[in-house]
Amino acid sequence: MKKTGLLLFTALLVISCNQKNKENEIITNDTLISNETSKPIENGFNIENISVSTADIGVFPFINLPKGLKEMNKPLVREFDVCFFPIEGIMTPFEGKLYKTFVSPNQGENFSQHFFEKSMSDYLLSIGAVKVFDGEITKEEYDRYNKKDPNKGDEGDIGYADQNIKFWVLRTKNDGNIYVQYISNNAGASLNVLQEAAFEQSITKVTAEEISSDLIEKGKAVLYINFDVDKSTISNDGIETVNEIAVALKKNPTLKISIEGHTDNSGNSTHNKTLSANRAEAVKEKLTSNGIDKNRLSAVGFGSEKPIATNDSEENKAKNRRVELIRVN
């Protein structure tokens, strides 16, 4: 009788243990993913299956480097950008606030790959993150995506075929979805953090009222009219802006303007000057076709001779690629 009771107790204990193990399994497509393991998820990725964490994670980028380690250089930090993360080995773009850095040891100290990876893994598990991928992408996958990554080769770059990438996802109530990936070797590491966010359009349509006000009050209006790449053909949205110029001039029939084309300093200066002149002339021709007397208009191109920002970044170069309307009476 005692033997029978012991066997029954043992069987119940095994069933209970198996049940607990099932509760802690990483994923099925119908259940939430547990955050109690550092093994990557299997059977497909669906962010909705990841539990929402209530942990206090601080402020962006939400991770302090382990003791004895530092950012090697100034990190890449963007309020809105794109970063590629490996979903089942496919480098997949996510957009939002981005942080990328190379990691190195403090002066006089050595880098421990095991220390870095264990520090990262233990911390991410403690705040409820789930490992999504742990492995390498194929050379074919690298060739497919790398030219789509605008930050490829920049600070903290990750995503080459010979790198072992560890990718984690954290869902939070207040800070949304957070994606973390890192690589390391015996010399240092790279770390990427992206806080997912929807794109918010900040460009508004230039109106005739704004153009008219700038010409009368400031004597000029600075416009960013889009053209086809390296051509003087005005794009569709550029035509909308030129149409607004025509409306402004019709409301102020005595106004005469000089249309001045400008470029950044990329490429050949002679070519840029010719291109800017052709673009200014294209705007003039479009205005005359909209009923503006050609005697009220003149066109000239300055190329990169009159920048309004230093040409030391893509953002500043974009500011220099402009059309200015100058009031001449």
pLDDT digits (tens, 9 = 90+) for 272-293: 999 999 999 999 999 999 999 9
The pLDDT > 70 percentage for the chain reads 86
Q: How far apart are CA 1 and CA 227, in angstroms?
A: 91
What is the arithmetic mean of pLDDT over 125-153?
Answer: 96
For residue 41, is pLDDT > 70? no
Q: How far apart are CA 170 and CA 193, in angstroms?
A: 11
Order of strands, sheet of 297-301, starting from the edge strand that comes earlier in the sequence: 220-223, 323-327, 257-261, 297-301
Which residues are CB-contacts of 69 (< 8 A; sequence separation ≥ 6)?
Answer: 103, 104, 105, 106, 111, 116, 189
Q: How far apart are CA 278 and CA 228, in angstroms?
A: 12
Q: How far apart are CA 311 and CA 318, in angstroms?
A: 9
Query: H-helix or E-strand containing 68?
Result: none
For residue 37, is pLDDT > 60? no
Tokens, residue 215: 């010409």
The more confident residue out of 229 and 97 is 97
* Nearest in space to 278 (alpha carbons), one of 328, 227, 239, 203: 227
**Third-level CATH fold of 208-327:** 60s Ribosomal Protein L30; Chain: A; (3.30.1330)
The residue written with tokens 């950008």 in the block is: 81
Helix, coil or strand: residue 248: helix
Tokens, residue 9: 């107790």
The pLDDT of residue 40: 62
Tokens, residue 225: 């009219």
Map out the domains of the chain as residue ranges. 33-196, 208-327
The residue written with tokens 């605008």 in the block is: 150
Characterise 60 by phi-psi region: left (phi > 0), alpha (psi -120 to 50), beta (else). Answer: beta
The pLDDT of residue 202: 73
- Helix segments in 131-261, DSSP class H: 139-145, 208-217, 236-251
pTM value? 0.61
The pLDDT > 90 percentage for the chain reads 78
**CB burial of residue 210 (10 Å; 0-12, 13-18, 19+):** middle
Please state, rounded to an integer, the average pLDDT across all residues of the chain.
88
The more confident residue out of 6 and 201 is 201
